[in-house]
Structure 1
Amino acid sequence: MTRADHPARLAGQASREAASAKRKEEWLALFAEDACVEDPVGPSGFDPEGKGHRGIEAISRFYDMTIGNTESLEFLIDDSLVCGNENVNIGTVRSTVAGAQIDAEGVFIYRVNDAGKITSLRAFWEVDRAMKTLRQV
């Protein structure tokens, strides 16, 4: 196995591709049944208690609140590292919603199980910092 075909890296790439193309069912199929999505990590408007979205049903609702509401979603990855069963990406997620664009710079971590399914997706980005990039397009 090379770093390019590492299971966690492949899962992260597939997740970003499906999300960008707005292929919800394909995106959901990448996750293990008991997976957890924390985006962003901690309490937020998407997750007031900061416990994450656990299980496919909760992840599906997260998709509807976030990815499903975008006009476009672009992942600009500056660096990608793999360690153990995880892939860490450093970069920016650019979202366009209602004619406005926002950039969320951060660190995005995918963990996979032995079957290559995503068990954890954790996104570290600051809402206030991202809001400062808000602009009309």
Structure 2
Amino acid sequence: MRFDHVGVATRDAADLADLFDGLLDAPVAHEETFDGMAVVFLELDGGGYFELLEPTAGGAIADYLDREGPGIHHVALATDDVSGALDRARDLGIDLVDEEPRPGAWGHEVAFLHPRSTGGVLVEFVEH
């Protein structure tokens, strides 16, 4: 596996995209509205992305922002086999948010591991 992206919950993805582009020279690589969110991927030099998540309706990110405020939401790792990665996590006794892969942003298959089993970090597996 390799680093894919860090997901950042925000109330204003466009404003944060402008900030990070100026600060990190991280241009927008992809934008979409998905699952009640505006999703903006900023490409980092050397590989990987910042994924900015702005709620457009109620849902997980809106709830997260209400509970925790803006900031890092999850860390995503790229894999060639999300199902296999879930099986490995299940074999290790890790609590899963997703029992099976599901559609994610940018057309990728994704699955999340529960932070109570991963040191407080919400981990996403993403298959390109």
Pair in the same fold by TM > 0.5: no
